Amino acid sequence: MSKHVQQLDRVVIRIAGDSGDGMQLTGDRFTSETASFGNDLSTLPNFPAEIRAPAGTMAGVSSFQLHFADHDIVTPGDRPDVLVAMNPAALKANIKDIPDGKDVIVNTDEFTTRNLSKVGYDSNPLEDDSLSRVRIHPVPLTSMTVEALKDFDLGKKDAQRSKNMFALGLLSWMYNRPTADTEAFLLRRFAKQPVIAHANLAAFKAGWAYGETTESFSVSYEVAPAPVQPGTYRTITGNKALALGLTAAAQRAELPLFLGSYPITPASDILHELSALKSFNIATFQAEDEIAGVAAALGAAFGGALGVTTTSGPGISLKSETIGLAVSLELPLLIIDVQRGGPSTGLPTKTEQADLLQTMYGRNGESPLPIIAPKSPGDCFDAVIEAVGMALTYRTPVILLSDGYLANGSEPWEVPNVSELPDLRVEFATEPNGDDGTFQPYKRDPDTLARPWAIPGTKGLEHRVGGIEKANITGEISYDPDNHDMMVKLRQAKVDGIAQTYAPTEIDDPTGDAKVLALGWGSTYGPILAGVRRVRHDGGKIAHAHVRHMNPLPSDLGDILRRYDTVVVPEMNLGQFALLLRAKYLVDIQSYNKVRGLPFGATELGELFASIVKEAQSDD
Amino acid sequence: MSKHVQQLDRVVIRIAGDSGDGMQLTGDRFTSETASFGNDLSTLPNFPAEIRAPAGTMAGVSSFQLHFADHDIVTPGDRPDVLVAMNPAALKANIKDIPDGKDVIVNTDEFTTRNLSKVGYDSNPLEDDSLSRVRIHPVPLTSMTVEALKDFDLGKKDAQRSKNMFALGLLSWMYNRPTADTEAFLLRRFAKQPVIAHANLAAFKAGWAYGETTESFSVSYEVAPAPVQPGTYRTITGNKALALGLTAAAQRAELPLFLGSYPITPASDILHELSALKSFNIATFQAEDEIAGVAAALGAAFGGALGVTTTSGPGISLKSETIGLAVSLELPLLIIDVQRGGPSTGLPTKTEQADLLQTMYGRNGESPLPIIAPKSPGDCFDAVIEAVGMALTYRTPVILLSDGYLANGSEPWEVPNVSELPDLRVEFATEPNGDDGTFQPYKRDPDTLARPWAIPGTKGLEHRVGGIEKANITGEISYDPDNHDMMVKLRQAKVDGIAQTYAPTEIDDPTGDAKVLALGWGSTYGPILAGVRRVRHDGGKIAHAHVRHMNPLPSDLGDILRRYDTVVVPEMNLGQFALLLRAKYLVDIQSYNKVRGLPFGATELGELFASIVKEAQSDD
Amino acid sequence: MTEVMIGMPKVGGLDGVPTSSEKLTRKDFSSDAEVRWCPGCGDYAILAAFQGFLPELGIARENVVMISGIGCSSRFPYYVDTFGMHSIHGRAPAIATGLAATRPDLSVWVITGDGDALSIGGNHLIHALRRNVNLKILLFNNRIYGLTKGQYSPTSEVGKVTKSTPVGSLDTPFNPVSLALGAEASFVARTLDSDRKHLTSVLTAAAEHNGTALVEIYQNCNIFNDGAFEILKNPDTRDEAMIRLEHGEPLIFGVKRKRAVVQSGFGFEVVDVDDNLDPESIVRHDAHCEDPAYAFALSRLSGSDLAHTPMGIFRQVKRPTYDSSLQTQLHAAIDQGPNDLQELLRGK
Amino acid sequence: MTEVMIGMPKVGGLDGVPTSSEKLTRKDFSSDAEVRWCPGCGDYAILAAFQGFLPELGIARENVVMISGIGCSSRFPYYVDTFGMHSIHGRAPAIATGLAATRPDLSVWVITGDGDALSIGGNHLIHALRRNVNLKILLFNNRIYGLTKGQYSPTSEVGKVTKSTPVGSLDTPFNPVSLALGAEASFVARTLDSDRKHLTSVLTAAAEHNGTALVEIYQNCNIFNDGAFEILKNPDTRDEAMIRLEHGEPLIFGVKRKRAVVQSGFGFEVVDVDDNLDPESIVRHDAHCEDPAYAFALSRLSGSDLAHTPMGIFRQVKRPTYDSSLQTQLHAAIDQGPNDLQELLRGK
Ligand SMILES: Cc1ncc(C[n+]2csc(CCOP(=O)(O)OP(=O)(O)O)c2C)c(N)n1
Ligand SMILES: Cc1ncc(C[n+]2csc(CCOP(=O)(O)OP(=O)(O)O)c2C)c(N)n1
Ligand code: SF4
Ligand code: SF4
Ligand SMILES: [Mg+2]
Ligand SMILES: [Mg+2]
């Protein structure tokens, strides 16, 4: 049967099933195929905090969404064009997001009375007409998988496990994905269990064949590759990009890297990645708690290593006292906060931007430090290199603010040329710097206000530092009121001075006469840009800017804000960045705050911006 | 010899010596005499972080300043009218604060070459003319004390120890203080060592007699009692007032009080005070660290006690994760932060206001809670009662922000009538509150948005709470995006709603047409008011207001700020309150920031205000 | 609640806890919440045993409180229909201390994991033990971090390959029983998720102990550390590996009870039971031995490989509890006064 | 610094630490900072002993690092002219762990108090011990919080009246030696501020030990807890109270050496040395005993009253250290590769 092939410019797919169904793996594979095909793409994994909640329950549903296109895209997509639901729970949890008329592939084998009632379906939605608004494709995925594997030496349970590969095969057929990658992957992954490897392969091929032959699917789709700048690309998640960026930074600084960390979702993967990179002189220390993690990193920094700690919001709370010590010691240190839903344990596997003010102010006393927020998974690489550079140059702890969406989401990333990465080498102090031949640990560089980094083992530079207030220059304990006032202000001035190093803030305002500015920070970059594009697509005028330096803020930002009638700042919190902007520039920011544990939708922001632009117009 | 008695309206004295010289005790005694005489007064103890640094060193100098007057005063005074310097170090450390022509009493016995050179005096300042600008009274305090006690069965060392009492006697004579109190005190304090008691008494009397007879002192002074409202008064420090306020609050709530605390300067005395009040059903638990302190208090609160924890800035950092849990659990809890100099260990025995933003934002996620700041030592009593009431009514952690100056400073305090204190009784939940007869732990009171306090032991109300996001009403774990958004906003709304309970903000603007508003919070109340009075005394017009509710801010505050051309906010930080005001009201606050570990001076602020008022005038 | 706060020192751990008027059953202690552990997780068996054993205590359901930290195991309280708090990582013993110190009428249980209790929460654990607060701490030891998807824990064996230690972990693990004994514990026991009878008997003794009881429960995490305790479960190996501790009974074990434990220096040694062995030399277990050196020595019998693993109550001795002493001080003071607030404020 | 990071496992604690080219003296280790302890404080004697002993090690001064927490004792590093950090309360062992793990060429000393190490810092302490990081931890135990002006500490005896416990403390104290042994310590010792010779010998052994060495130093706080160790200092009582531990020597002590320590069950007992006593029954001290049960039993000889207090090295055994193992893993990986950053970024 020859089938119709339809051209699309972009597609959003979502696959959903039990936590144990391998949905994340399936999504990763489809992403990989899509990347090797050359589409632009963006992904959004979404999973519960439990490892593997009981099969078939709403609590156990895990999903993976992928947006891919023949052009440059910036978000994982709002609402799927196709949903694969591996069981009734997955259907129930996701169906409300599917627009009318779109495709829903369901694994009918799981639609038993027991499973249906487990999630509160009184009748089978595949049989009543409750789902008539979408295009249902009933597929007995499990039994077809078992059937396809009947010649393998596998129990039924084991055979059933390959059903995700059957689904992947079907999807791969539907979107004409290249399959070589996946085939190679399966053989590699299960190299030690060849039966499993081949069973999965067979299931994958059976899925593809099923698409090709069944009448249930009359069309397949093609999404052409996106035009890209020449270069080498790979798909990367934010956490992976942070790990690579840290490795690159340490290598460019020619320093050993020491990571002191305590596992916590969604930051743990950075620890995992780095622990596998020992050959790059990276030591990872799984500490007894968050405090020990940052404390050990600080100790390593005192010894001349690049000290790093990684965590999420609750960990930042715990580390705050020690970060304050680092501020007082004026030693380089990198703290990575992968934000998640709060307060307290909150929504550990979901994303949020509500640690900005905590990282700004969550320490006793006046305790300023620079904060950098990457805007996309790939940007995590550049941001962390910049953060390390700042820490080393200014001898200060720096916080990098990522979030759950950046951490686990992925996008194509152009592999940089190592030789073009910044040179981060530092000079340790080697000589006494005092007029009288003594060593003055708090004598500052006149430009940066940084103090010398004098590491143990350097003869003649023996000195003591501590968290008690100290005299500028000598570093001796000082309770002198005026010295304290000066030191408080010097520490602030040092951090404020970093703004001098920034490039001018880029403003994207094609017509040059927009009255509304959409301003964002961190991971809202994609959704905001997508929203802005929609407005422009409909003829609206809107400017767009994005801040990566959360502290100190760029020096040109105030002027920029004042240029617009309306500045709208969407945030996944209750307006934390807006608060900083309002306080600093006395500009009336229009906040848009949703705290749902999920990134904003492009449509949502497009509509928001459109209405603001319209209002601004009508104000004329 | 009969001496001249001069009338004064106010006097500032400062006594300074080694940490081991008993300066704080001497100051307390003089304060007590002054209080019993009926002057208004305000004190400022100032001591190093070390217990008893070696004798005669600058590091070891401890001082106590007292301001007393025949009228209402609000600060411990800027510059002393008389300094008692027990040794060269004390002279050196304090002389710069003494205005020209004022009295300096020095203990000449300590002005040995060795002691002089210890603090870098090349020649004896009593002998060269370096101090000619002040009126030096050389007194061999130590040897006269020893001489006075020669009939006691005491070693020389022990006899010398009473020299502070000799100094007190002399001062008491100089200012015509009543002595009965001190005499009774000494007998009580050394009840078990009668020799010591009588030796101290003898030294005290010898000091008085010395003043009366020596020619070195030709005048004594009288400062008439201040007119006061009728009532019972006592002198009280902020820490003592907090302890009494907590006791009163617990009694008025009819709840057992449980304090979980870890010692830290300058908060430890609250723990000490409360541990002596067991008979008021107050349990104190000295925990293994700050986290355990607040955690245990939260556990006690879950069980229906009034849970309290006390600490300073570094402890707040450590407690922040657990405070976030309390926000999520929506249980009553009181956290007292006695601020000290930061960042890090900073200046542990000095005062500062730099934890405001930490208490506002130092927790992961959106984690709002009310914050109350008392304005004077005595006000600590009222503020903590209000804070407890809020915690109980709104089922929320509340932070009370005191500071080192309030903690140790003292003033006369009118003892309240217990029956006039607010009734703080709460109702624990006793019955299921769900429509279906179940218990719904997050079903809220429609007015306050508070949830029920259902304590273990209550049949039928068994339920589980936790730090993971939960469904409103049922309290069950919920990862639902919209529920999370709602809960984040509900928690914020609950706290914001507290502003409804405030009385209108009082504005002190005698002429009603001031263009400048001096606005403060916390312990700057006294210095700001004193500065304002100076301006007015010189004919300037300036309004004064003071905020005690740091979060949520009073609803009328924005309108008030906008009424003035200039709003000046002096803070012992880099402008933290100003930041909140600017962000919330978009009003251009004029900040005045000094971070010296000491309260502002009245003159300093008077001059500041005067220049601002002048400028505002000239703007007309 | 104040009724029972009479400040009388407790003797048993449940003294002062109201008894239930009705006969409660397992079902009374099962909440409606959906259990969210992985299928096959050892936590299920522990939950079932716990819910089965609680009614046997005869105490009022509303006077039972479960406080947990964070981890798979720490979800436990949601499934038990009593009062409960799922708190934050590592802090449960501290929270429970505040509760137990103020509410002698409650039976307070701490549920924690090897990461929660021994990694981030180690300090609170050892301080609870030395204070001897009336808490029952159930430490679910699966030798792995479950909830964060499989990093090694402070009880993982050296060389453990996990996500965070791809070439093997380096840290010597804690022996939780030794650590507890070093921290002055008055009650320390070890049991196994799958051995319901043993689990129940240990839990019962813990509940009745007055003071902090630490119960280490070996628990299988079939996702990230499957088979960690296989040697104690597999019928082919368990008899040789497990040494059951019964107070007053000789330490004999093994297939056909052919192994015995004898003293060797200040420690123990496993020997064959044969004709050469003087039966008197076999150590009789003495859980009540005042000197913790005995229980400590016993705790050293098993290493990471669990080849000879004592299971049961290592130590069970009486000593004053923090909560009773506190209540005694408090009530003595209340009785003695002063109690007049007005006088206090006046400062006279 | 990277020169010495050769990834070779250490044998002695000072292996890899450069030696000093000059002969250093006590003065070289005295900084200019004004010492700010109270006159009479036991810390002075410890400082003097320490500054006197350091040159004896023969290592380069610039390769010595002192890391402290907060407390009177934690001011120590300011007075020693080496590299030093006065950090925050309780965290010194964690900070030092990061330093020691990355810098095998340093001799790293942690200075801490009974509050700093055992109260707020308890968790870092026990984890450092189990990991066996090459740190020397000097725990100044004055059984009180000095710097915060006299609250009871985790080593204060029950019933201690202090500012925070006006009618007496309730918590059973830790025995720091027992706690350390429960935490798998490889080196544990106890000594006394005023006994310079003993202090020096213990410090020397600690410095040379490869791994974490915990040295508890009884220290008099003459302001807030004066005389806490009087029984061990007063010529009238000290001989009867102090049991000196010398490896291989019998445990005999007392006025005229009339007391001895014998085994009793799994613990120890003090007996009179008289004709009835079989000299063979006197325990010979074995600091190298693999089984920590021996040292643990020994640690239980002394209670809060210090009536029979063993002083010296309780335990001194070799086991792999965290830092060496880490460096070994690291250097093996570096040698093996991959090391090409560009390839890594490319993901091939
Ligand atoms: C402050 C903080 N740090 C880290 C985490 C992440 N975290 C949650 S559970 C856990 C460890 C769980 O291990 P364990 O206590 O052994 O429990 P298990 O899941 O194995 O039952 C960690 C590291 C957290 N929730 N909070
Ligand atoms: C986070 C924090 N909590 C509390 C304190 C207050 N504090 C300083 S030292 C100390 C205890 C000191 O006792 P110890 O460690 O025994 O040292 P000592 O002064 O007796 O030598 C405390 C509670 C602090 N500085 N930081
Ligand atoms: S991850 Fe392990 S411990 Fe956690 S629920 Fe699953 S099986 Fe149990
Ligand atoms: S308070 Fe005690 S420990 Fe601290 S310096 Fe003084 S005597 Fe020493
Ligand atoms: Mg575990
Ligand atoms: Mg101490």
Q: Which atom of ligand 1 is nearest to the CA of C145?
A: 13
Q: How far is D302 from chain B (nearest CA, A)?
A: 23
H or E element, residue C140: strand C135-141
Q: Which stretches of B332-407 are assigned E, i.e. beta strand?
A: 333-339, 371-372, 397-403
Q: Which pLDDT score, from 0 to 100, does residue C2 have? A: 38
ipTM: 0.97
DSSP for residue A295: H
Span D34-60, pLDDT tens digits: 899 999 999 999 999 999 999 999 999
Give the span between the Cα atoms of D323 and D4, in whole angstroms. 13
- Range B117-125, long-range pairs (CB < 8 A, 24+ positions): B118/B56, B118/B57, B118/B88, B118/B89, B119/B56, B119/B57, B119/B58, B119/B88, B119/B89, B119/B92, B120/B92, B121/B88, B121/B92, B125/B88, B125/B91
Give the span between the Cα atoms of D326 and D103, in whole angstroms. 11
CB pairs under 8 A between A and B: 236
Q: Can you tell me the mean pLDDT for B80-87? A: 96
Do residues C241 and C308 touch, judged by C-beta distance below 8 A? yes
Query: Which residue's structure tokens are 């009692």?
Result: B225
Q: Which strands make up the sheet holding A40-46, listed edge to edge?
A: A40-46, A61-69, A10-18, A82-85, A103-107, A135-139
Q: Which atom of ligand 1 is nearest to the CA of C224?
A: 20
C195 CB within 6 A, ligand 1: no
Q: Can you tell me the mean pLDDT for B383-394? A: 98
Span A83-141, pLDDT tens digits: 999 999 999 999 999 999 999 999 999 999 999 999 999 999 999 888 999 999 999 99
C176 CB within 6 A, ligand 1: no
Select from D32, D91, D109, D133 the residue whose CB has the most chain A CBs within 10 Å, as the one to mutate to test that interface: D91
For D222, phi then psi, to 5°, come to -75, -10
Instruction: Please check whether residue B136 touches C, CB under 8 A.
Output: no
Chain A, 71 to 130: residues with Cβ < 8 Å from chain C are: none
DSSP-assigned letters across all residues of A21-68: GTHHHHHHHHHHHHHHHT-EEEEEEE--SSSSPPTT-GGGEEEEEEEE
Angle, to 10 degrees, between the axis of helix C92-102 and the axis of helix C122-131?
30
Q: How far is C333 from chain B (nearest CA, A)?
A: 4
Give the span between the Cα atoms of D139 and D218, in whole angstroms. 8
Give the span between the Cα atoms of B598 and B76, in whole angstroms. 11
Give the span between the Cα atoms of B19 and A64, in whole angstroms. 67
Give the span between the Cα atoms of D238 and D20, in whole angstroms. 39
At residue B339, does pLDDT exceed 70? yes
H or E element, residue D217: strand D213-218
Closest chain B residue by Cα to residue D121: B289
Task: Write out the two tokens for A234.
Answer: 């790979």
Span C145-180, pLDDT tens digits: 999 999 999 999 999 999 999 999 999 999 999 999
For C181, phi then psi, to 5°, come to -70, -35
Give the span between the Cα atoms of A384 and A380, in whole angstroms. 6
Task: Write out the two tokens for C41.
Answer: 């997780």
Q: Which of B49, B343, B363 sits opposite A317 (nearest CB)?
A: B363
Q: Can you tell me the mean pLDDT for B538-561? A: 98
D neighbour chains, 3+ CB pairs within 8 Å: A, B, C
Q: Chain centroid to CA D207: how far?
A: 10
Which segments of C92-229 does DSSP mark as H helices, in order?
A: 92-102, 114-115, 122-131, 176-182, 196-208
Ligand 1 pocket test, pick from C37, C44, C89, C141 with the greatest ligand atom count within 8 Å of Cβ, gives C89
pTM: 0.96
Cβ atoms < 10 Å from Cβ of B512: 8
Q: Which of A320, A360, A598 sits opposite B320 (nearest CB)?
A: A320
Do residues C104 and C59 touch, judged by C-beta distance below 8 A? no
Q: How far is A343 from chain C (nearest CA, A)?
A: 11
Q: Which pLDDT score, from 0 to 100, does residue C3 have? A: 41
C92 CB within 6 A, ligand 1: no
Instruction: Please check whether residue A256 touches C, CB under 8 A.
Output: no
Among protein residues, the one with the nearest Cα to ligand 2's atom 2 is: D89
A436 Cβ contact list (under 8 Å, min separation 6): none
Q: Which pLDDT score, from 0 to 100, does residue A229 have? A: 83
Residues of D in contact with B268 (CB under 8 A): 148-149, 151, 163-164
Q: Which pLDDT score, from 0 to 100, does residue A169 have? A: 96
Confidence label for B1 from pLDDT (cuts 50, 70 and 90): very low
Angle, to 10 degrees, between the axis of helix B180-189 and the axis of helix B194-213?
150
B293 CB within 6 A, ligand 2: no
Three-state secondary structure along A475-514?
Answer: CCECCCHHHHHHHHHHHHHHHHHHHHHCCCCCEECCCCCC
At residue B52, does pLDDT exceed 90? no
Do residues C346 and B232 touch, judged by C-beta distance below 8 A? yes
Q: Which pLDDT score, from 0 to 100, does residue A216 have? A: 82
Low-confidence residues in chain C, pLDDT < 50: 1-7
Closest chain B residue by Cα to residue A580: B583
Q: Which ligand is nearest to the CA of B53?
A: 4
- Range A613-617, long-range pairs (CB < 8 A, 24+ positions): A613/A514, A613/A515, A613/A516, A613/A535, A613/A540, A613/A541, A613/A542, A614/A540, A615/A566, A616/A515, A616/A516, A616/A565, A616/A566, A617/A515
Q: How far is C166 from chain A (nearest CA, A)?
A: 6
Beta bridge partners of C84: B464, C66
B173 Cβ contact list (under 8 Å, min separation 6): B207, B208, B209, B210, B211, B212, B217, B220
Q: Which of A258, A302, A457 sits opposite D63 (nearest CB)?
A: A457
DSSP for residue C225: B
CA distances to A316, C77, C80, D244 from C68, in Å? 21, 7, 12, 45
Q: Which pLDDT score, from 0 to 100, does residue D3 have? A: 41
Q: Which stretches of B73-134 are assigned E, i.e. beta strand?
A: 82-85, 103-107
Closest CA to A172 of A32, A62, A40, A69: A32
Residues of A in contact with D67 (CB under 8 A): 299
Span A567-591, pLDDT tens digits: 999 999 999 999 999 999 999 999 9
Higher pLDDT, B596 or B59: B596
Query: Which residue's structure tokens are 């490039």?
Result: A503
D41 Cβ contact list (under 8 Å, min separation 6): D72, D220, D221, D222, D223
Q: How far is A232 from chain D (nearest CA, A)?
A: 8
Ligand 1 pocket test, pick from C44, C114, C116 with the greatest ligand atom count within 8 Å of Cβ, gives C116
Cβ atoms < 10 Å from Cβ of B108: 17
D221 CB within 6 A, ligand 4: yes
Low-confidence residues in chain D, pLDDT < 70: 1-9, 348
For A92, phi then psi, to 5°, come to -60, -40
Q: What is the largest CA-CA distance in chain A?
A: 91
Query: Which residue's structure tokens are 């657990």?
Result: B322
- Residues above pLDDT 90, as percent of chain C: 95
Give the span between the Cα atoms of B338 and B404, in whole angstroms. 6
Q: Which atom of ligand 4 is nearest to the CA of D142?
A: 3
Q: Which pLDDT score, from 0 to 100, does residue C1 have? A: 38
Q: Which pLDDT score, from 0 to 100, does residue C8 have? A: 61
Q: Which atom of ligand 4 is nearest to the CA of D222?
A: 7
DSSP-assigned letters across all residues of A165-199: HHHHHHHHHHTT---HHHHHHHHHHTTT-HHHHHH
DSSP for residue B67: E
Closest CA to B551 of B342, B378, B327, B346: B327
DSSP-assigned letters across all residues of A81-105: SEEEESSHHHHHHHGGGSPTT-EEE
C116 CB within 6 A, ligand 1: yes
Q: Which pLDDT score, from 0 to 100, does residue D1 have? A: 38
Q: Which stretches of D73-123 are assigned E, i.e. beta strand?
A: 83-86, 107-113
Give the span between the Cα atoms of B500 and B373, in whole angstroms. 18
Give the span between the Cα atoms of B228 and A570, in whole angstroms. 56
Q: Which pLDDT score, from 0 to 100, does residue A619 have? A: 63
C neighbour chains, 3+ CB pairs within 8 Å: A, B, D
Q: Can you tell me the mean pLDDT for B529-549? A: 97
Confidence label for A228 from pLDDT (cuts 50, 70 and 90): confident
Q: Which pLDDT score, from 0 to 100, does residue B185 have? A: 93
Q: Which pLDDT score, from 0 to 100, does residue B59 have? A: 87
Q: Going by DSSP bridges, is the β-strand pair C242-245/C213-218 parallel, antiparallel, or unpaired? A: unpaired
Task: Write out the two tokens for A373.
Answer: 């927020």
Rg (alpha carbons) of chain B, rounded to whole number: 27
Q: Which pLDDT score, from 0 to 100, does residue B51 have? A: 82
Beta bridge partners of D253: D259
Do residues A68 and A10 touch, judged by C-beta distance below 8 A? yes
Residues of A in contact with C163 (CB under 8 A): 268, 271-272, 275
Q: Do C120 and A288 touch (CB under 8 A)?
A: yes
CA distances to A396, D87, D140 from A332, in Å? 5, 16, 31
